[in-house]
Structure formats: C-alpha cells, structure tokens
C-alpha cells in the first residue's frame, strides 16, 4: 500500500510537469499507436551501413564522405519545409527519415523530423497505422510508420511522396545524416508494395517527366540527377554502357520478369593481366555472373569460387577469417581489373588494399571479400573501392522503349601496359597519411577455404529474363525520347544531357537543429540548417524532442501503475 501511495504522489508531480509542456505537443497529428501490417524491405548483402565522418554536401548535389576504407554518397533534401541530409543507396528503393520519437543511441545525435511540427504538406497514411520496417544484412534495422510528405531534391519536388517515419532504429547515421534515400527500382520498394498509388522518389521523378533525362550519376566529388557532369566526362564516347539484368518473379509474385536491382553481367576479372572467367552460382539459369552496383556498400564482394581464384594469382595471399577476408603482402603491386562488356576497369593497389594489419604490418587486408552463394543469383557486389575509380551513370530506362543501363567512365584513362603505375613507396605513403592500420587478429595457421551448399534459386526459374529486355511498366514514362533503344552505345552522343558545374570552391556551412555548426569546403556555397522547421529555434526543437520523451515515459509510468492496481 505504501508503494502505491508513493507512485500516486509521483504521478501527480509528473502530471503537473507534463501540463507545463502541453503546448508543445497539443496539436500532435502523428499518433504513436501500435502499427499493423508489418513490411520488410528486401536489401541485398550490406557489409556496413555506417556513414563516414568527413563529408560535405551542397543543396541539390550529393557530396562524398570518405575515410580510409569506406565512402558514402549524400544529398540534401527537403521534407516539407525542413532540410535533411540523407545517405543515397542504389540497393534499396525507399526513403526513410528518423523522427523525434526515435530516442535510440543512433537516433539522438542526428537531426530528426519533429513530430509536433504541423507541416501543411504532411499527409497521414491509414491514420499512421501502416508499419514501415527496413532490415539490413548486418543486423541493423529501422522501423516506424508510413506517411506522405512533399520531398524536394535539387529544386525538383514530388508532392505526397510516401516515406518511412522512423521511430526505432539502430542504423548508424553519423555526419548529420537523418536517413536513407533508395534509388533502386520500384519492384524493390516495400512501400510501393504496401501503399496504393505510390512508388519510389526517383521513379516518381522519372514517371512524371520532371528530369531532362531519367538518369542519375555519381563521381568522387558530386552527384547529379537528370544529366551527366561535363566537367568529368570530357569524351562521352569513352563511356561503357551495360544493359541491366531483369529478374524473374519470386514464387507466385506474378508471371512477368522485370527490373529489380542495378545488376549487370561481369564478363571477367584479372590480376596483373592474367584473365579469369567468372563462375556463376546458377549456370543453368544465368550464362554470366551478375554484379550489383551498390553505392551504399563500403567494399567489393564476390563468391568464393571466384575470389579464391583471384587471390591464387597474388603471391602470399591468405584467408584470415571466416567472414571471407583475405590479406596480401603490402608490397603487392599487381593491378586488379574487372571487365564489363568489352571494357576493362583497373584498380591499383591503393584502390583495393584496406590497410596493414596490426598483427603483421607487412600484411594488408584487401578487397574483394568472399561471400557464400546468394539465392537471387547476384554473385558480385561493387561498392566504393570500385565506384571511386569510375564516373557511374544509372539510366533508369523508358517503358516500351529502352532498358535500364549502367554507364562506366574511367576516371583514370587506362594504360596500354598491364603493369601498375604505383610503386610500393606510393602505397606506403598513402597508408601512412591516412593512418590506415587495421586492428586485426591473424590466425596462427593457414585457413582452409570453406565450402557452401548452393541454396535453391529463390526466383521463378521457369520464366526467362534476358538481359536488357524491354518492359512496359516500372520505368520512366514513354514521353521521353530514347537515346539508347536496344543499343549499348549512344545513337547520338551530343544528345546526352550534360551540366557543367562551376569549379569555384566555397566555404560550406551546416547547422543542425541544436545550433551546432560544421564548416567545410565544397564546390557550391550554401548555408543550411538541418532538421529545423521554419520559424523554430534550436530551443523549440529541443523542447519538442524532450516532450516526446516525456510522453513515452508517462505512458510507461501509467502502465506500471495499471499493473500494480
């Protein structure tokens, strides 16, 4: 009885405190009620969703954040009238943002969408009762509910864009990033599959004809939507174009093959000029291995049957753990090349080496890493170590006219020689400058290469899925005039839309919702406050987040009292 009396006194005191902050959430429209109809985003293998700490961004541009072994791409968007920085990802299709209701250790440090803000462009979906769940292969997740909001990127606005409002997450979002914007195909979107009349953000831009051409592109310094960067691509004829592979349906999904992932055939790879033919996991279904181009992944991954043969061509290479990580002598000078179509793209040692190990500074961890077979038939995954050596162009395709394509333009024009242009001194100086030593416990014995059983093919193998097939839906609207058609080379090179950004360097200033300022260097000038609605101050933003914490605590307190009574 005494315990009940103490709880009642605490409840009275607590209710008086909450009454003083009522105005903060009195008009709250985003009801935090239990969700129904859980959905899961299908995400291919992701080694890490962690985002780098050194990035700079520009409004309408996505700048690159780099560290010694990872690289991420970002963009500034507006959700309603609130600016947010999001990580871009080609291996998913949905947009999600953390909200003020997410108070996990990974959510609290980043700008969050304030649920108490009455955005005039916000629309509920099913009274906020439709669940959003994103699960990643590294064990992280983001969950919440679906909503609609006006989303702006690079002065292009999509009203009523569906997105995930995250209320719980353990995804590491550093460098002020508040969520992820997926740039994959609509079929990959769980939001599109659960909400009527909805599709992904880039699909919306393409289907509404808002772009000069339905493509987006990435380089080491900037990312563009709708055009190619003419300051990088000085000779468009040097772009190697590759048709994207369609995928059959999963089980009883439907009876039509369609585009699912940004995956293209890998025709070969080599070490120091010695060519090796890839071995696809399902040769009876696919004649060639497929490589997924994933800007959200920090490494290069391949199947054991290929990666083992690649490292057999490097003297002193050894498998060092069960995750498929190899180490090679740090004085290795051999270049590694990957072939897509008829073109080779070469990585120098400083591109594919991760860094020296602490257990043996003469051994360096290296990409690619080996993975067990994947049931979707995607064998390789090309992340930032490869993508930072090329200017990559993702052409979305046009319904009834043109398949999706990936264009690759080498940032360093290839030499006629197969020998590396890097010396061991150059490689050592790069590692030294980046403090690139990797904490590693090396095994005392040589590890045997593991063997895996091939899982059953997850898709409908009775339906054909020829590379570059023309489809009638899911791509850009047919109001665009196709530049490619069925060809893998431009019919009219001069027709490829380009932009020539100014090379002038400016100081770039970012301010988060609590007033912390970050200053860095960028190719555009801007001053943007993240996560703060118009007319709000940092104090009101903090009060809003705090009020949501109070509300959650009060609910927990009342539930405790209820169980005692």
pTM (two decimals) = 0.80
The percentage of residues in the chain with a pLDDT greater than 90, rounded to a whole number, is 47
pLDDT at 41 over 80: no
pLDDT at 270 over 70: yes
pLDDT at 415 over 50: no
Distance between CA atoms of 507 and 66, rounded to whole angstroms? 18
Q: What confidence score (pLDDT) does residue 391 get?
A: 92
Average pLDDT of the residues in 496-500: 67
How many CB atoms are closer than 10 A to CB 30? 25
pLDDT at 13 over 80: no
All structural domains of the chain, each given as residue ranges with its CATH number in brackets, are: 59-212 (2.40.70.10), 229-414+423-478 (2.40.70.10)
pLDDT bracket for residue 514 (50, 70, 90): low
pLDDT bracket for residue 499 (50, 70, 90): low
Beta bridge partners of 365: 327, 355
Average pLDDT of the residues in 356-376: 92
- Nearest to residue 30, comparing CAs of 117, 153, 103, 157? 117
Q: What confidence score (pLDDT) does residue 251 get?
A: 76
Distance between CA atoms of 411 and 482, rounded to whole angstroms? 26
- Nearest to residue 382, comparing CAs of 289, 262, 278, 292? 292
- Provide the mean pLDDT of the chain: 77
Q: What confidence score (pLDDT) does residue 433 get?
A: 56
Average pLDDT of the residues in 471-496: 75
Distance between CA atoms of 409 and 229, rounded to whole angstroms? 11
Residue pair 393/215 in contact by the 8 Å Cβ criterion:
yes
Residues 6+ apart with CB under 8 A from 441: 359
Encode pLDDT of 428-450 as tens digits: 666 665 556 677 777 767 788 88
Beta bridge partners of 269: 276, 338
pLDDT at 226 over 80: no
Pairwise pLDDT comparison (223 vs 15), residue with the higher score: 223
pLDDT bracket for residue 505 (50, 70, 90): very low
Residue pair 43/134 in contact by the 8 Å Cβ criterion:
yes
Encode pLDDT of 90-136 as tens digits: 999 999 999 999 999 999 999 999 999 999 999 999 999 999 998 87
Distance between CA atoms of 376 and 213, rounded to whole angstroms? 30
The dihedrals phi and psi of 387, each to the nearest 5 degrees, come to: -65, -25
Average pLDDT of the residues in 71-92: 89
pLDDT at 228 over 80: no
Range with the largest mean pLDDT of 350-364, 478-492, 542-556: 350-364
pLDDT bracket for residue 539 (50, 70, 90): low
Average pLDDT of the residues in 190-206: 85
Average pLDDT of the residues in 217-237: 73
Average pLDDT of the residues in 56-68: 37
Distance between CA atoms of 261 and 465, rounded to whole angstroms? 13
Instruction: Identify the weakest region by mean pLDDT among 193-197, 274-278, 514-518.
Output: 514-518
Q: What confidence score (pLDDT) does residue 122 get?
A: 96
């Amino acid at each position: 009885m005494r315990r009940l009396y103490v709880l009642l006194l605490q409840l009275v005191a607590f209710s008086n405190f909450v009454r003083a902050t009522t105005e903060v959430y009195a008009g709250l429209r985003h009801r935090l009620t239990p969700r129904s109809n859980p959905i899961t985003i299908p995400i291919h293998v992701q080694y890490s969703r962690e985002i780098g700490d050194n990035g700079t961004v520009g409004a309408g541009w996505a700048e690159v954040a780099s560290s010694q072994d990872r690289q991420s791409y970002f963009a500034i968007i507006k959700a309603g009238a609130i600016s947010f920085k999001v990580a871009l990802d080609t291996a998913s299709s949905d947009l999600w943002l953390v909200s003020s209701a997410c108070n996990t250790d990974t959510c609290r440090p980043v700008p969050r969408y304030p649920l108490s803000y009455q955005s005039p462009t916000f629309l509920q979906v099913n009274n906020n009762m439709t669940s959003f769940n994103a699960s990643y292969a590294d064990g992280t997740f983001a969950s919440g509910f679906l909503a609609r909001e006006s989303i702006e990127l690079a002065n292009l606005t999509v009203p009523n864009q569906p997105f995930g409002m995250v209320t719980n997450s353990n995804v590491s979002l550093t460098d002020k990033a508040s969520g992820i914007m997926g740039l994959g195909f609509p079929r990959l979107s769980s939001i599109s599959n659960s909400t009527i009349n909805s599709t992904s953000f880039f699909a919306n831009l393409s289907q509404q004809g808002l772009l000069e051409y339905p493509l987006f592109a990435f380089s080491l310094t900037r990312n563009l939507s709708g055009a190619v960067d003419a300051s990088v691509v000085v000779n468009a004829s040097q772009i190697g174009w590759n048709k994207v592979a369609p995928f059959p349906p999963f089980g009883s999904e439907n009876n039509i093959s369609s585009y699912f992932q940004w995956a293209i055939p890998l025709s070969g790879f080599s070490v120091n000029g010695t060519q090796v033919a890839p071995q696809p996991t399902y040769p009876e279904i696919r004649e060639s291995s497929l490589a997924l181009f994933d800007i959200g992944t920090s490494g290069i991954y391949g199947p054991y049957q290929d990666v083992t043969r690649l490292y057999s061509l490097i003297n002193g290479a050894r498998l060092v753990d069960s995750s498929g990580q190899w180490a090679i002598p740090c004085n290795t000078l051999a270049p590694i090349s990957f072939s897509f179509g008829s073109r080779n793209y070469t990585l120098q040692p400083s591109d594919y080496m991760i860094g020296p190990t602490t257990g043996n500074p003469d051994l360096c961890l290296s990409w690619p890493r080996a993975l067990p077979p994947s049931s979707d038939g995607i064998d390789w995954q090309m992340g930032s170590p490869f993508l930072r050596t090329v200017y990559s162009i993702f052409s979305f395709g046009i319904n009834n006219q043109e398949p999706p394509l990936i264009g690759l333009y080498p940032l360093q024009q290839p030499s006629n020689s197969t020998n590396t242009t890097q010396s061991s001194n150059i490689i050592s100086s790069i590692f030294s400058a980046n403090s690139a030593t990797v904490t590693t416990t090396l095994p005392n014995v040589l590890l045997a290469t593991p063997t895996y059983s091939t899982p059953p093919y997850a898709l409908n193998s009775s339906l054909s899925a020829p590379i570059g097939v023309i489809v009638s839906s899911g791509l850009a609207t047919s109001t665009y005039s196709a530049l490619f058609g069925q060809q893998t080379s431009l019919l009219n090179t001069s027709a490829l839309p380009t932009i020539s950004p100014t090379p002038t360097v400016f100081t770039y200033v970012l301010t988060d919702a609590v007033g912390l300022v970050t200053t860095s260097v960028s190719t555009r000038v801007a001053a943007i406050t993240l996560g703060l609605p118009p007319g709000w101050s940092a104090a009101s933003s903090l009060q809003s987040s705090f009020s949501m914490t109070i509300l959650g605590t009060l609910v927990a307190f009342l539930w405790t009292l209820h169980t005692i009574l």
